[in-house]
Structure 1
């Protein structure tokens, strides 16, 4: 029961008319599509995101990692603790600044990178989403995120 965009009332309280619900449903569905791919690696989706940042940036502070993932420190710390227990990352205090904790991928974490490189393509195959559509969706979602962040700062 889909209506045309111009028929959707802007003040509608129908669940399916809510942008936030469409985003929430899409996020849950995409995360569920990732699950079997990440299960093969022994990772949860949030752990995968942490490793993506570390593989891209190398040694990073917890603060920088949290900022990159748009998460708070308290959310990132338990993720790092589990990844460290699995032998995938190492945390240590910075010699330059005792308040700062550095996170580094271990050799075992680097080995996982090669296997993880197959995940993005496998997700596209599984979902049937083409590369051009991914680019368009990603650009639109980043624009939406920027607008929403700007709106939340104005309040």
Structure 2
């Protein structure tokens, strides 16, 4: 049995612009335009991972980005009911969490490894509660808050 190790992680809160936020390589510039016609949680671009979220400017999602030296263990589907995966190529191997429109960092930089191809898994909890909160008559659309959505994004080398 191979033991897989966590190499590092960064966290932040993010608002989804047009239903998306990004994890970007630190030298990303032209991130491309993935085929969003498929109903997914994540899509890969050039030096970029696009992640779908119902969060908004006033109800942000809590996101943790992790670097692993191999594929991490599967998560408990009762706690993390929404999961998706893809592969992404990174120019530098160092990433950060970002809003879609301004591409400005909302986390520290995270080295995930050398330049190259990576597998990525996105695990999500609290998505249904976030949608319900945003539809609730009690939701204050002016006051900024961190909503119930939690997202963990794991990167590991593609073999």
TM-score range, shorter chain: under 0.3
TM-score (norm 2): 0.26
Task: Normalising by structure 1, report the TM-score.
Answer: 0.27
User: Using CA pairs below 8 Å that are at least 6 residues apart, which structure has the higher relative contact order?
Assistant: 2
**Greater helix percent: which structure?**
1
Query: Larger C-alpha radius of gyration, 1 or 2?
Result: 1
